[in-house]
Amino acid sequence: MTAITTQPQLDFVNCPHPEGQHRMAFWRWGDVSARHVVVCVHGLTRQGRDFDRLAQALVAQSSKPLQVICPDVVGRGRSEWLSDASGYQIPQYAADMLVLLRQLNAQLSAQWGATNAMQSLDWVGTSMGGLIGMVLAGQPGLPLPAPIRRLVLNDVGPAISWPSVQRMQTYAGQYGQYHDLDEAAALLRTLSQGFGPVPDDLWREMSGHMTRPGLDGALTLHYDPAIGVPVRALTEEIATAGEAALWSLFDQIKARTLLIRGQDSDLLTPETANAMAQRGPRARLETWAGFGHAPTLTSEDQISCVAQFLLAE
């Protein structure tokens, strides 16, 4: 069992983009020498500290050494911002994750004296993080240090309902100013009704990671407002064309897959979820009542479901 820590280690990786490079932050839980790696990637406007409770539980419950990596996708959290907003799309995010995995494997190789020191790789992706996971798991020729063994898709699939995209277009990149954390937490709660019943103290803690001090002392949201530019540029025609490509990727996934759906989700329809259970990796579907888009994976029962899936032999 890996030693339990109450705070993650913050680390960085340099990732290329067309105009140069940017620094992506990631939060590290558990044993940095562990050859079993779980990567947890957040949704569109979130950041890596969303997974604090899940990461701690996975480390505590694993019978073998384990490290959990929770990136702040570029433009969010402690990561740098891009100079060109058009880069805030899945291809750049997936490329960044490949660089991160390469760096992690190099660090493990230095410790273990093996070229491919990462022995086991799992992926947990909420919404956007799940799309990134599908891109990586659905391309067998990608230079991953280890194949993705188990994949958790949290309320996302190849088909994303157009009304949910329209909803995201109204808030993605919103960049207000807030007098204090309570005001910011209240605004985030309003925007996140689909997250379900999250206790006030936990919501305040999560909201603290979503904000940063501005120049005048007021709080702002901890992301580049430009992350919303590509989202607002989407049309229904573009989204439909992308859906076909995502289904093609999904059908090539070999990882054992757990699909979580909030019963009230406006993004992942029952039809898409059922199709995902019948084709490609034939995902195991868990539908959770009382949640929309997307469950936070912070309650004991949610964590238990994910942990049992990832930590089973």
Q: Which pLDDT belongs to residue 63? A: 96
Q: Which pLDDT belongs to residue 23? A: 99
Q: How far apart are CA 57 and CA 48, in angstroms?
A: 15
CA dist list (Å): 97 to 118, 144, 250, 262: 15, 10, 18, 26
Contact 25, 72 (CB under 8 A): yes
pTM of the model: 0.96
- DSSP 8-state code for residue 223: B
Q: Which pLDDT belongs to residue 3? A: 52
CA dist list (Å): 191 to 45, 132, 171, 181, 195: 11, 23, 8, 15, 9
Q: How far apart are CA 36 and CA 61, in angstroms?
A: 13
**Residue 245, Cα to own-chain centre: how many angstroms?**
20
Give the mean pLDDT per block of 10 residues along the chain (313 residues): 74 97 99 98 98 98 98 99 98 99 97 89 99 98 96 98 94 88 94 92 96 88 96 95 96 99 98 99 98 97 98 90
Q: How far apart are CA 183 and CA 4, in angstroms?
A: 33
AA letter at 253: I
Q: How far apart are CA 49 and CA 77, in angstroms?
A: 9
Long-range contacts of the stretch 132-136 (C-beta < 8 A, 24+): 132/41, 132/73, 132/90, 132/93, 132/94, 132/97, 133/41, 134/158, 134/246, 134/249, 134/250, 134/253, 135/90, 135/91, 135/94, 135/249, 136/94, 136/97, 136/98
Instruction: Provide the token pair at 299.
Output: 């309650």
Q: How far apart are CA 203 and CA 10, in angstroms?
A: 22
Contact 41, 11 (CB under 8 A): no
Instruction: Provide the token pair at 194.
Output: 């689909």
Report the 3 state secondary structure along 3-43.
Answer: CCCCCCEEEEEEEEECCEEEEEEEEEEECCCCCEEEEEECC
Q: Which pLDDT belongs to residue 6? A: 79
Residue with tokens 């590290």: 28
Q: Which of 242-281 are b and which e, b meaning 16 or more Cβ less than 10 Å from the residue's Cβ?
A: beeebbebbeebebbbbbbbbeebbbbbeebbebbeeebb
With 0-12 CB in 10 A as exposed, 13-18 as middle and 19+ as buried, what is 32?
middle
Residue 245: which residues within 8 A CB-CB, separation 6 or more?
Answer: none
Domains of the chain, CATH where assigned: 9-163+236-311 (3.40.50.1820)
**Which is it for strands 67-72 and 20-30: parallel, antiparallel or unpaired?**
antiparallel
Instruction: Provide the token pair at 50.
Output: 């969303």
AA letter at 34: A
* Residue 287 C-beta-side C-alpha neighbours within 13 Å: 13
Q: Which pLDDT belongs to residue 4? A: 57
The full DSSP string for 61-128 is H-SS--EEEEEE-TTBTTSPPPSSGGG-SHHHHHHHHHHHHHHHHHHHHHHHT-TT---EEEEEEETH
Q: Which pLDDT belongs to residue 173? A: 86
Instruction: Provide the token pair at 235.
Output: 């049309």
